[in-house]
Amino acid sequence: MPKDIIIDCDPGLDDAVALLLAAGDDRVNLLGVTTVGGNQSLEKVTYNARAVLGLAHADDVPVRAGCPRPLVREGRVAASIHGDSGLGDVELPAPVRPFDPGHAVPWIIDTIMAREPGSTTLVAIGPLTNIALAARLEPRIVDRVREVVLMGGAVHTGNSSPVAEFNIRTDPEAAHIVFNEAWPITMMGLDLTHQALCTREVQAGIDALGTDLARTVSKLIDGYRAAYRQDRAFPNPPIHDPCAVAYVIDPQVVQTCRCPVDVELQGALTLGMTVADLRGAEPGPDECHTQVGMQLDASMFWQMVTAAIEKLG
């Protein structure tokens, strides 16, 4: 049976690929998409989410806008990577589905509470503001969620700072709440997502599909590649967010390590660092509710992404 998922996101070039993967793989059932201010403003990322779902012929999927800024701090965007629109210089057709009214956080709560316990997975690929508020407003969802799979954090090197990743650093207080709830958490941090490099060979495989959708995805990747070369000196861009969706589809695509993880809130130089305790033997799931992705099967990952784009095209 397909796994029921809610994607909380801030599209974002890599978020767009994550949405296409979720829409194009029958092993997951996309219940809805919620948006949060992050890569760009809430207005822009919500528009982008609706436009990408339209591109995927998934206009039946509801999209609800959530929090425009972090819980405590000022908002920040990643225009140097994702551009002024959030999707680089690629213009998608305008969304057909009318705007879904209502705030994302109550919708997340209501959807989880209406479904069987353990049947809904939260896939969080932006700042964790919406997820933290949902857990605080209705603590009962924590026991009802099957798992939280998030793209964020890093065991070793960050990108927003030497030790902190963008999603976590944008709203560290929200991340602290989410990591300290009792639900199972799988963290897809930079150690893992930097292995999801879109090489020229990978992009050629997408181009070979020859569909309008494949050409659009390739244009998105072109913009992402140029931004990463200029901003981070990466010859090939890491496509972060689809790693979280891919893990939900088939956990064998990622090797994980179970370890305690917490979020630094006090350090002047380490704010937003995800501190993973790798000192001892790997604890069991009854002892530790957090695990981190360490090794990606890149070939399997790109096969999944390419197959989804082919199916949607």
Catalytic residues: 240
Question: Nearest to residue 155, comparing CAs of 193, 124, 120?
Answer: 193
The rounded distance, in Å, linking the Cα atoms of 173 and 132 is 9
Angle at 57 between CA 43 and CA 88, to 5 degrees: 45
The SS3 assignment for 27 reads coil
Which amino acid type is present at position 217? V
Cα gap 300→304, rounded to integer Å: 6
Q: 3-state DSSP call for residue 275?
A: strand
Question: What does the alpha-carbon distance between residue 106 and residue 163 come to, in Å, rounded to a whole number?
Answer: 33
Count Cβ atoms below 10 Å from residue 118 Cβ, excluding itself.
Answer: 11
